[in-house]
Amino acid sequence: MRAALYKQLGSIENIVVEDIASPSAMAGEVVVSVKAAGIAFPDVLTAQGKYQYKPELPFSPGYEFAGVVKEVGEGVTQFKPGDGVLGRGHQGCREELAVNAKQVWKIPAGMDFGVAAGFGMNYATTYHALKDRAEIKPGETLLVLGASGGVGLAAVELGKMIGARVIACASTREKLDTCARFGADELVNYESQDLRAEIKRITGGRGVDVCYDPVGDKYAEPAVRSMAWGGRYLVIGFAAGEIPKIPLNLVLLKGCALVGVFWGDFARREPEKGYRNTEELIRLVAEGKLKPLISAKYPLERTGEALADLLTRKVQGKVVVTVRH
């Protein structure tokens, strides 16, 4: 079977496509014939050797995937060959994948495999962040940085679904238009406008109740300075590179909280809650209440290009690799 692989860490240019042996299902596992794999910023960081998780090599990108169950291992009763599934666990960019059955969910018949492969991680991270960590309430103001990106657009859509007033920030007009299509109430171009002044204007000087920050770097401090009394600042990631250093007096003065979000560890430490969250999200997508944006599809041979487009800020929503037709 074919697989996109990196054999050494350091650069996304190290990705090659090669034939490797097919897996078989061990006890508690399913083998999935992969149709599509979702690519996200953690894939870029992993390939560069900058992610908190250092994989054993060779390794395939694609932290999430969708496909059809080919084989079930001993003890697996909830799936059978032919079931359409989505899953997490690593290495989606290979034609067959053996994964723990607890990291796999059934998908409704007819759900597009690209969509199924592309919403799980972003929406589950964001659902956990907004619901479990920030405990956001209808009517609160939600500031989203990097709002047209993978997790960012999920925050815009889920924030609106929960009833928040959403202020979306991005770097271009085109990206902001996408945020508006997903329901954002207010738009700020944080490259050409003064982020703090704009938030002050939009909130009448009150500040925001919740900030969702997957970007970090120079964008973080003005956002912390824009928190309302009792606000919650969600630390999601650092796509812009630098991990910001925030003066803690700001947190004191605003009576606000800096709240860490680490979806992967949450799902490991609280597997049942994590599993239920994803089941709920699958239902919301199937009912058409959430409409995740898959902005580009790449064939397996061009997996490296998908990562390069993320790295150079060309992507909106999610990109997926089509592994098998």
Question: Which residues of the chain form contacts with ligand NAP (CB under 6 A)?
Answer: 40-42, 45, 121, 125, 146, 148-152, 170-171, 175, 214-215, 236-241, 261-264, 310, 313, 315
Shortest gap between Cβ of 293 and ligand NAP (angstroms)?
10
Torsion-angle region of residue 230: left (phi > 0), alpha (psi -120 to 50) or beta? Answer: left
Shortest gap between Cβ of 179 and ligand NAP (angstroms)?
9
Shortest gap between Cβ of 48 and ligand NAP (angstroms)?
11
Q: Which is nearer to ligand NAP, 5 or 267 (CB)?
A: 267
* Cis status of the peptide bond prior to 108, with omega within 30 of 0: no
Shortest gap between Cβ of 208 and ligand NAP (angstroms)?
18
Shortest gap between Cβ of 174 and ligand NAP (angstroms)?
10
Q: Which is nearer to ligand NAP, 31 or 290 (CB)?
A: 290
Positions of E strands within 79-226: 84-88, 96-100, 104-106, 141-144, 165-170, 186-189, 208-213
CA distance 297 to 322: 6
Q: Which is nearer to ligand NAP, 136 or 215 (CB)?
A: 215
Torsion-angle region of residue 52: left (phi > 0), alpha (psi -120 to 50) or beta? Answer: alpha
CA distance 80 to 30: 9
CA distance 153 to 307: 18
C-alpha angle 240/316/166, rounded to 5°?
80
Q: Which is nearer to ligand NAP, 35 or 128 (CB)?
A: 128
Q: Which is nearer to ligand NAP, 25 or 145 (CB)?
A: 145
Question: What residue is closest to ligand NAP based on CB?
Answer: 149
